[in-house]
C-alpha cells in the first residue's frame, strides 16, 4: 500500500481519484477470487485465532498465593498450585466464544510426584552406595544405571505426559486424545539417540523433529487430527545460522533465531478435518521478538522477579496474538469420539522435574 505525503491537495486530487478507483478494482477482484475458491471447495475461507484474556493482575493473585502456600507446606502444596495455574491459563483461552478447560486435580498430580520422588530417592541411595563402596566396578555400575535411567525414561515420560494432558484438556466438553504407543515412541527415541551419538550430535535436530511428528500424528480432537511437516534439515540450518552469526552480531542475531525457530515449529503444524488440511501460521517479526524478550528481561530485573506473573501473561498472549489457523475448520462439527480417562500424571510430573513443560 502506497501512502502519499500530501503537500498540495489540488495537484494530487486526480492522482488520489485514480488510486482510490484502482484500489477498489483490486479489492473487488480479490473478493471475486476468494468467492470463487469458496465455491470450488464448498467451504467459506476463514481465519481462526485462539484469544487469550489473561491479565497480569489476576494471574499475580493466583501465582503469589500458590507460592506462599507451597512454602508454608514445605512444597507439599505444589501439585495443587500447578493445577490451579494451568486451569487459569486454559480458562483464559478462547476459541469461537468458548473457553478451554483443564480437568486435572491436585491429588492426581500429587500421586505422580510421590512415584517420581520414590524412584529418584532409590536411585540416589544406590548411587551413594556405589560411591561409598570404594569399588571401582560398583561406582561405575551405579553411575551408569543412574544416568541410563534418565536417558531411557524420557520417551516414556513424554508419552505419559501428553496422554495425561490430552485427557484432561477440553473445549466445549470435547476432550483431546493421545493414541500413541509407548513402544513406538521409545523406538523412535532410541534410534534418534544412537544416530545422534554416531553423528556427534548432528542428528539431534532430526531426533527432535521425529518425536514431534510422532506425538502430533497421534493427537486427536474429535474428528480433527494434527501433523507436523518440518524436517530435521530445516531445524539444523536454523541452529547452524545461530552458531555462525551469534558472535559476529554480538548476540543480536538471537532475535532472528527465535523468530525462525518459533515459526518453524508453528508454521509446520497442521490440523486435518474431513480430509482437508489447514496450516497454522505464526505472523511475527524479529522486532516483535525483541520487544517481547527485552521488555520481559527488564520487568524481571527491575522488580527482582515480582513481575513474573505479568511476564508469563505477556508471553502466552504473544504466541496467541500472532498465531492463526488459516482455512476452514467447522468447529460445530467436532464431536467426541471416545474419551480416554487417563489419570496417571507421573510422566507429566517427571517432565516438570526436568523443568520441561508442555503448555
What is the bridge-based pairing of β-strands 276-282 and 174-175? unpaired
CA distances for 45 relative to 39, 95, 276, angstroms: 10, 17, 12
107-129 per-position pLDDT tens digit: 999 999 999 999 989 988 888 88
- DSSP-derived letter for residue 220 is E
pLDDT at residue 28 in the model: 42
In total, the chain counts a number of residues equal to 359
pLDDT at residue 43 in the model: 55
Say if residues 237 and 267 touch (Cβ distance below 8 Å).
Answer: no
54-72 per-position pLDDT tens digit: 999 999 999 999 999 999 9
Q: Domain ranges in the chain? A: 103-228, 229-329
pLDDT at residue 290 in the model: 96
pTM for the model stands at 0.83
Q: Residue ranges of the chain with pLDDT lower than 70?
A: 1-45, 357-359
- DSSP-derived letter for residue 307 is T
Amino acid at each position: 500500500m502506497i501512502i502519499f505525503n500530501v503537500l498540495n491537495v489540488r495537484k494530487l486530487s486526480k492522482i488520489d481519484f485514480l488510486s482510490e478507483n484502482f484500489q477498489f478494482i483490486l479489492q473487488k477482484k480479490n473478493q471475486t477470487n476468494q468467492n470463487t475458491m469458496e465455491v470450488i471447495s464448498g467451504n467459506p475461507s476463514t481465519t481462526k485465532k485462539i484469544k487469550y484474556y489473561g491479565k497480569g493482575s489476576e494471574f499475580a493473585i493466583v501465582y503469589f498465593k500458590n507460592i506462599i502456600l507451597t512454602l508454608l507446606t514445605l512444597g507439599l502444596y505444589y501439585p495443587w498450585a500447578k493445577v490451579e495455574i494451568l486451569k487459569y491459563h486454559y480458562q483464559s483461552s478462547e476459541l469461537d466464544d468458548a473457553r478451554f478447560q483443564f480437568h486435572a486435580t491436585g491429588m492426581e498430580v500429587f500421586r505422580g510426584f510421590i512415584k517420581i520422588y520414590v524412584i529418584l530417592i532409590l536411585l540416589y541411595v544406590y548411587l551413594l552406595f556405589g560411591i561409598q563402596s570404594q569399588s571401582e566396578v560398583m561406582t561405575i555400575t551405579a553411575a551408569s544405571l543412574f544416568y541410563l535411567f534418565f536417558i531411557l525414561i524420557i520417551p516414556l515420560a513424554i508419552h505419559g505426559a501428553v496422554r495425561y494432558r490430552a485427557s484432561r484438556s477440553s473445549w466445549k466438553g470435547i476432550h483431546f486424545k493421545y493414541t500413541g504407543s509407548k513402544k513406538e515412541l521409545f523406538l523412535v527415541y532410541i534410534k534418534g539417540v544412537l544416530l545422534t551419538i554416531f553423528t556427534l550430535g548432528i542428528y539431534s535436530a532430526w531426533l527432535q523433529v521425529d518425536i514431534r511428528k510422532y506425538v502430533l500424528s497421534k493427537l486427536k480432537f474429535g474428528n480433527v487430527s494434527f501433523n507436523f511437516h518440518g524436517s530435521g534439515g530445516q531445524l539444523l540450518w536454523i541452529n547452524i545460522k545461530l552458531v555462525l552469526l551469534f558472535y559476529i552480531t554480538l548476540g543480536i542475531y538471537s532475535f532472528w533465531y527465535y523468530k525462525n525457530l518459533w515459526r518453524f515449529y508453528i508454521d509446520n503444524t497442521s490440523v486435518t478435518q474431513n480430509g482437508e488440511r489447514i496450516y497454522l501460521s505464526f505472523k511475527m517479526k524479529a522486532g516483535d521478538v525483541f520487544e517481547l524478550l527485552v521488555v520481559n528481561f527488564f520487568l524481571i530485573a527491575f522488580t527482582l522477579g515480582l513481575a513474573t506473573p505479568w511476564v508469563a501473561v505477556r508471553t502466552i498472549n504473544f504466541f496467541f496474538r500472532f498465531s492463526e489457523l488459516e482455512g476452514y475448520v467447522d468447529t460445530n462439527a467436532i464431536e467426541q469420539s471416545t474419551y480416554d480417562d487417563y489419570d496417571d500424571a507421573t510422566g507429566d510430573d517427571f517432565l516438570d522435574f526436568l523443568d520441561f513443560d508442555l503448555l
